[in-house]
Structure 1
Amino acid sequence: MPDDPLAWETRESGVAYSCPGFDIVTQTVRLPDGDETDFDYLSEPASVCILPFTADGTVVCIEEWRQAVERINRGLPVGTTEPDDDDLEAAARRELAEETGHVADTIEPLVTVEPANGLADSVMHFFVARGCEPAGEQRLDHDESIRVTPMAYAELLEAVREGEIRDGRTVLAVSHFELVGE
């Protein structure tokens, strides 16, 4: 939509800072009124978030240390896609196995969102996995500390409803799952 009157024109773009997992991009942009300004945003690969159900309807949740908020975060398995991931379902299966040691009988898309498109180019693909069962050990990245904590779906829903679970990805997955009447 470059000819839309709301569109900004990117004049220059470069990476101001790079680290494992994301870059900070700095751009010089021309606004619709003709003014030029700088705009910075976080750039990262797409991610997958999995709402994994066992055969009896239990959700395979995780607890993970989150340094940015300095606390244990209870939520769902989430992972970044790899450059060679052509199949998002395969990426979701991989992340489920890596973070929980579980495999799923079936996995299907739930929703795709841009969770913070005012400050990041993040795209998150949500999936529902069914028939999950343990199939091996977790294969965590060097900077992950994750504990598998299965919980009843009703308990997870109540924790989201009461604001006890604050992880945005989990809140969004459960809320959308409820919305579409799965």
Structure 2
Amino acid sequence: MDEIDLTWQTLGSETDYTCPGFDVVRDDVRLPDGTETEFHYVTETPSVVILPFTEQGDVIVIREWRQAVGRVNYGLPAGGIEDEDSDIRSAARRELAEETGYEADTVELLTAYEPANGLFDSTHHYAVAHGCVPNSTQQLDDNESIAVETTTFEKIKDMSARGELRDGRSALAVLHYTAHIEP
């Protein structure tokens, strides 16, 4: 069976809207059948999602207000990879410390996913941190409201499996860890 070429040709690209955290881009494209049209998508910097375990084996979780859905979100620390981060591990360490005040003994990369590649160009990198201890105070961004707590891995795994952990990034981290790493 012959492979069908599904590639779109980008004829031009413009940023329609810019704000802190993301841009909305419009591409002028030619489809494989020759049709010319527009395609809009959201572009943002890659981010890291951290599944952090304390020295006792509990998971550090956060509660954070999420304006887009109008509620407090329960999940894992996460944030954008910044220019000063030397790699994904250093970004994970920085985000963990900023959002929770915890520092990790070790950080390992788990995987990376494109969470919604029909609408966003985002890549979420997933890391697991072990031996986390409270070592400082939170260093929150001016638009963050975050409370920190711990829970058992079993509880957050059960919440993920039942669809009660609504934050998709967090649920994916827990389920990936459960399926591929957890002993």
Q: TM-score category by the smaller chain?
A: over 0.9
Aligned sequence identity (%): 53
Name stretches of at least 5 consecutive residues in structure 2 with no aligned partner: none
In 1: Cα distance, 2:181 partner to 2:35 partner: 47
Q: Which amino acid aligns with 1:88?
A: I
**Matching residue of 1:13:** 13
Match of 1:29 in 2: 29
SS at match of 2:141: coil
Opposite residue 19 of structure 1, the aligned amino acid is C
How many equivalent residue pairs?
A: 179
Distance between the aligned counterparts of 1:126 and 1:140, measured in 2? 21
Amino acid at match of 1:177: Y
For the residue of structure 1 that corresponds to 2:95, the secondary structure is: helix
Once the two structures are TM-superposed, the CA of residue 181 in structure 1 deviates from its matched residue by 3.0
Aligned residue number for residue 157 of structure 2: 157
Aligned partners of 2:75, 2:33: CA distance in 1, in Å?
A: 43
Q: Deviations over 1:123-164 (max 9, x none)?
A: 010000000010010000000000002101111111111221
Residue type matched to 1:23 in 2?
A: D
Gaps of 5+ in 1: none
Residues in 1 aligned to 2:118 and 2:88: alpha-carbon distance in whole angstroms: 24
TM-score by length of 1: 0.96
Runs of 4+ residues deviating >6 angstroms? none
1: CA distance, partners of 2:140 / 2:43: 23
Structure 1 partner of 2:38: 38
CA distance in 1: counterparts of 2:60 and 2:138, whole angstroms: 13
1:167 aligned onto 2:167: yes
Offset at 1:83?
Answer: 2.4
Tell me by how many angstroms 1:56 deviates.
1.2
> Is 1:125 matched with 2:122?
no
Q: Give me the CA root mean square deviation.
A: 0.9
